[in-house]
Amino acid sequence: MEQGNLERFTSRTDLAVEERERFEEDDVEISGVSIEEEFDEKSEINVTKVVIFTEKGAKAMGKPKGTYITLEAPNMSVPDEDYHREISKVLANYIRQLIPDDKEEQSVLIVGLGNREITPDSLGPDVVGNLLITRHIVQEYGKIALGKDKINKISGIVPGVMAQTGMEASEIVRGIVEETKPDYVIAIDALAARSTRRLNRTIQVADTGIHPGSGVGNHRNGLTRESLGVPVLAIGVPTVVDAATIVNDTMENLIAAMEQSTRLKGIGDTLNLFNATEKYQLIRELIAPHLNGMFVTPKDIDETIKRIGFTISEALNIALQEV
């Protein structure tokens, strides 16, 4: 298989931790990239911190230089309020680590990216809808109206998608940033993963900004420090996977089952000669052309998005309001 084809058929993901795993499968170390893992047995939350600190590492990973923190909670899709509160607290702690702390009190613009009308893409609008917005109160009545001596000024916007507004989200946000002059921006968006086990169970926080729509192949202008002139944090949850990813995960389970069978072990061993990228290419070619552009989400996505959106908004409220 030609290298160009392998790159073209690499499974789509917005998660830095999955890009890092792609190299681990081939037992390759990446220069300019560090990785740290921590597992909390009590909360069952696994945290992976990937730091890309050189241009060479950024090129290898296909992502900008910066810090990517990934929280994986297998029970995040379960409707347990106490557990989700625990996730919010842990997430708030990592958000604080990435927040620029130049000032004691800060002005923060939170951007909910996505389309309210399409449930898997409505995470950003759901998060903004649950936030404690304070900018207008502080400007109108002062901090005393909220009973605090110190408070961050929080504003929020849901810019919609180009099909609804005729404008790039980045154009709308850039105009708001120029007018309101926040100290930094936090953008929330739905992501794509290359593993079904991370679907709606993973939260990624990054200090590199975000490129709306990149997870499903809609490349839009990014919300980054370079484009907006202020630091941009990005928070995302994978809510969709493409059809090839589902087939690929099924194929891995099939190979594992074949290896346990005396009659089918030879077939399993043959398939295992392919690396992960080659298996994915094979699957993409087999399901082409009708399913290549299909993205899939769980049937309970409505309740899941509401639950996860509230979890992230609570994390932001905790991280930003305790000045």
pLDDT tens-digit profile of 59-76?
A: 888 888 999 999 998 888
pLDDT tens-digit profile of 80-128?
A: 888 889 999 999 999 999 998 777 789 999 999 999 998 889 999 999 9
The residue-averaged pLDDT of 37-48 equals 86
Hey, CA dihedral for 304, 308, 313, 318, is it positive or negative? Answer: positive
> pTM here?
0.81
Asked which of 50-59, 76-85, 149-158 is least confident by mean pLDDT, the reply is 76-85
Q: In this structure, what token pair is assigned to residue 202?
A: 């993973």
| pLDDT > 60? residue 216 | no
The residue-averaged pLDDT of 276-291 equals 65
Vertex 83: Cα angle to 80 and 85 (nearest 5): 110
How does DSSP assign 154-182, residue by residue?
EEEE----HHHHSS-HHHHHHHHHHHH--
| pLDDT > 60? residue 236 | yes
Task: List the chain domain ranges.
Answer: 3-245+293-321
| pLDDT > 90? residue 155 | yes
SS (H, E, C) 77-105: CCCCHHHHHHHHHHHHHHHHHHCCCCCCC
Output the pLDDT for position 10.
45
Q: Give the span between the Cα atoms of 224 and 211, in whole angstroms.
A: 8
For residues 108 and 131, is the Cβ–Cβ distance under 8 A? no
Q: Give the span between the Cα atoms of 50 and 22, in whole angstroms.
A: 13
pLDDT tens-digit profile of 184-197?
A: 999 999 988 777 77
Classify domain 3-245+293-321 at the CATH superfamily level: HybD-like (3.40.50.1450)
Output the pLDDT for position 58.
86
The average confidence (pLDDT) of the chain is 81
Output the pLDDT for position 4.
36
Q: In this structure, what token pair is assigned to residue 165?
A: 């507004």
Query: Which region, left, alpha or beta, applies to residue 147 given φ > 0 means left and ψ of -120 to 50 means alpha?
Result: left
